[in-house]
Amino acid sequence: MVLIAFCVFVMVLLPQITEYILPLGLRKDDHYSVSQPIPYNPYPEYNSAAWKRKWKGSYQSCVGPDGALLDPENENTAMKGYRWNQSEFPTPIFGSYEAWNLDKNLCVDPSSRYGVYGYEVNARDVDSRTSTNWGGVNWADLQSACLERNRERYNKWHPEPKKPTLHNQQNQQVELGRKKHHYRKSRLPGFHHRTAVILRTTIDMKYTTNDIHNIRAMVMELSLLSGAEY
């Protein structure tokens, strides 16, 4: 029975699978390579002429957990991904690559995504992938130093007004947003906004290795690599 099933697979199913997969471009060609992951750099062209017309100050690279200045193109410190040709993939049933400005031709696996943060396949030690002494990293100090290096980009003394959150004040929110949008357009270049990311947890939370890698990635990619925008 096993031999018969194998023959059916080879003679009938395999040609159909190959015929379907090949048009999807899940293979090496002149434009897409799956052999080695490459650094993924989603950040704007900081300090370019177009960027300076919009924002005050200048972007300054921040120091990473290994004590060196961060570079989103450095394969030793940046997340990486694989280039795939997904032109024949079906349209997502929810969400949008375009709305989030995501590169739909980039795929990641756990190793390429979190390898620079200590992930290693089948490793028992969460910190075994890199030489960084993760236990000795003071993430608060790194973020404070990053903000200090980029202090000219942000308006420290005039924070934006708090937005009301009650449902009966939605009209006020819309009007406030319109005024702020008009003000920003008329006062370019302007100070860059900063956004807070809050992680809600419990006192007895037991963090998994995946949690740790995610938190490291959030601090590195949102805060340190953006010049303290978060």
Looking at the predicted structure, is the pLDDT value of residue 227 above 60? yes
Looking at the predicted structure, is the pLDDT value of residue 123 above 60? no
DSSP code at position 51: H
Is this structure's pTM higher than 0.75? Answer: no
Residue 70 class from Cβ within 10 Å (0-12 exposed, 13-18 middle, 19+ buried)?
Answer: buried
Summarize pLDDT for 67-96 with one digit per residue, the tens: 999 999 998 888 898 888 777 778 888 888
Q: How much is the pLDDT for 28?
A: 40
Looking at the predicted structure, is the pLDDT value of residue 114 above 70? yes
Kindly report the length of the chain.
Answer: 230
- Check residues 20 and 156 and name the one with the higher pLDDT: 156
Measured CA to CA in angstroms, residue 39 lies from 77, 109, 153, 157, 216 at distances of: 9, 13, 26, 37, 17
Looking at the predicted structure, is the pLDDT value of residue 179 above 80? no
Cα dihedral sign for 61, 62, 63, 64? negative
Summarize pLDDT for 47-62 with one digit per residue, the tens: 999 999 999 999 999 9
Average pLDDT, the chain: 77
Q: How much is the pLDDT for 208?
A: 93
Summarize pLDDT for 26-54 with one digit per residue, the tens: 444 444 445 688 898 989 999 999 999 99
What does the alpha-carbon distance between residue 39 and residue 64 come to, in Å, rounded to a whole number?
Answer: 16
Q: Is 77 helix (H, G, I), strand (E, B) or coil?
A: coil
Contact 82, 93 (CB under 8 A): no
- Check residues 186 and 138 and name the one with the higher pLDDT: 138
Place 149 in a pLDDT band, splitting at 50, 70 and 90. Answer: very high
Query: Domain-by-domain residue ranges, the chain?
Result: 34-121+139-152+192-229
Place 130 in a pLDDT band, splitting at 50, 70 and 90. Answer: low
Q: How much is the pLDDT for 143?
A: 97
Instruction: Please state the φ and ψ torsions of residue 106, each to the nearest 5 degrees.
Output: -115, 125
Looking at the predicted structure, is the pLDDT value of residue 137 above 90? yes
Contact 182, 218 (CB under 8 A): no
